[in-house]
Amino acid sequence: MTDIRNIVVLTGAGVSAESGIATFRGPGGLWEGHRVEDVCTPEALAADPVLVHRFYDLRRAALAGVGPNAAHRALAELDAAWPGDLLIVTQNVDDLHERAGARRLLHMHGELTSALCARCGVRRGWHDALPPGTRCDACGAAALRPDIVFFGEMPYQMERIEAALARADLFVSIGTSGAVYPAAGFVQLADAYGAETLELNLERSAGSGFFAETRLGPAGVLVPDWVR
Ligand code: BJW
Ligand code: ZN
């Protein structure tokens, strides 16, 4: 990776697929048995908090039975060793990047293990059952919700992401379908800022045409190959 100093890595559900976490779209995807609009909007949360909380409780509980795979580990190694700027932007709400040891990481779509107070914005850990109606320690409102970015809500830390993309010499997208914005637009932004662009994915995605190079295969093979 000559002449590359600053790297932004975007990861999606495909990075965690080999750990046994279902992706969203496609056969066997998480949303096969759910209607997206039933669980992934603020309106759905307001209309049926019990259903939405149950959906996230199940996925949070599933984290206990899975672990990071070779792709998470390779990215953590890159993070530990890379002397330039590096930012791993994950769309994933699981905690497998951090469990593999990644540090320069941000969760743009939130985290399963975090609860957000919809009233005052304070966060707390969410590891065991936290039933709908649990009160916020900070403001006392019964407004704790999954700390997840639903459709129509602003993804987290967009300014920091855009600043990193502006400085990037290389943008690498791993295991994401390119179906959800603004993440799907990062490749064009990075390209416009002059970065090299590389996609690692099991199959061609909606965004493949925007990348200078696409390598097809499982993340558990492609990511270690790219990093080492
Ligand atoms: C492997 C593999 C292996 C499998 N190895 N690879 C019309 C046009 C344009 C935009 C909009 C529009 N209408 C509405 C919008 C905006 C909307 C949007 O994009 N909608 C689209 C559906 C069109 N976006 C939003 O609302 C976002 N907010 C927003 O835009 O705010 C305004 C704003 C604008 C500009 C700047 C800033 C703000 C919020 C989006 C929130 C997304 N939230 C979700 C749900 C989280 C809750 C939960 O987890 O339950 O986040 S959606 C869901 O999709 C989840 C994911 O993070 C996200 C991306 O999915 P991902 O990771 O790509 O997974 P898959 O399953 O789609 O793909 C897996 C890929 O892996 C595939 O390609 C496989 O091939 C591959 N793969 N195995 C390698 N072993
Ligand atoms: Zn509060």
d(CA 106, CA 62): 21
214 Cβ below 6 A of ligand 1 = no
Q: Are 13 and 28 in contact (CB under 8 A)?
A: no
| Residue in 34, 72, 109, 127 annotated catalytic | 109
**pLDDT value of position 130:** 79
Q: Are 198 and 211 in contact (CB under 8 A)?
A: yes
Average pLDDT, integer, range 198-211 = 97
Does 40 appear as a known binding residue? Answer: no
**Joined tokens for residue 187:** 């490749």
Return the percent helix, strand and coil in the chain, to nearest 5.
35, 20, 45
Domains of the chain, CATH where assigned: 1-21+67-109+155-228 (3.40.50.1220), 22-65+112-148 (3.30.1600.10)
* Strand 110-117 relative to strand 123-125, pairing: antiparallel
93 Cβ below 6 A of ligand 1 = yes
Q: Which atom of ligand 1 is nearest to the CA of 200?
A: 79
d(CA 87, CA 208): 21
Q: Are 171 and 198 in contact (CB under 8 A)?
A: yes
More confident position, 123 or 30: 123
Q: Point out the ligand nearest to the CA of residue 14.
A: 1
Active site residue 109: yes
Q: Per-residue pLDDT for 32 more than 70?
A: no
ipTM for this model: 0.95
Q: Which atom of ligand 1 is nearest to the CA of 154?
A: 31
> 155: CA distance to ligand 1 center in Å?
11
Mean model confidence pLDDT for the chain? 93
Q: pTM for this structure?
A: 0.96
Q: Per-residue pLDDT for 199 more than 80?
A: yes
Q: Could you tell which of 18, 21, 24 is best to mutate to test the pocket of ligand 1, judged by most ligand atoms within 8 Å of the CB?
A: 24
**pLDDT value of position 31:** 66
**Residues around the ion ligand 2 (C-beta < 5 A):** 117, 119-120, 122, 136, 138-139
Among 1-5, 9-13, 147-151, 208-212, whose mean pLDDT is lowest? 1-5
Q: Per-residue pLDDT for 19 more than 80?
A: yes
**pLDDT value of position 2:** 64
Give the C-alpha distances (Å, rounded to integers) separating 30 from 17, 58, 179.
Answer: 11, 12, 15
Average pLDDT, integer, range 5-27 = 93
Average pLDDT, integer, range 140-150 = 92
Banded pLDDT at 15 (limits 50, 70, 90): very high
Sheet containing strand 110-117, edge to edge, reads: 123-125, 110-117, 144-148
d(CA 84, CA 94): 26
56 Cβ below 6 A of ligand 1 = no
- pLDDT tens column, 61-88: 999 999 999 999 999 999 999 999 999 9
Q: Are 93 and 111 in contact (CB under 8 A)?
A: yes
Q: Point out the ligand nearest to the CA of residue 69.
A: 1
Residue 133 CB partners (closer than 8 Å, separation 6+): 142
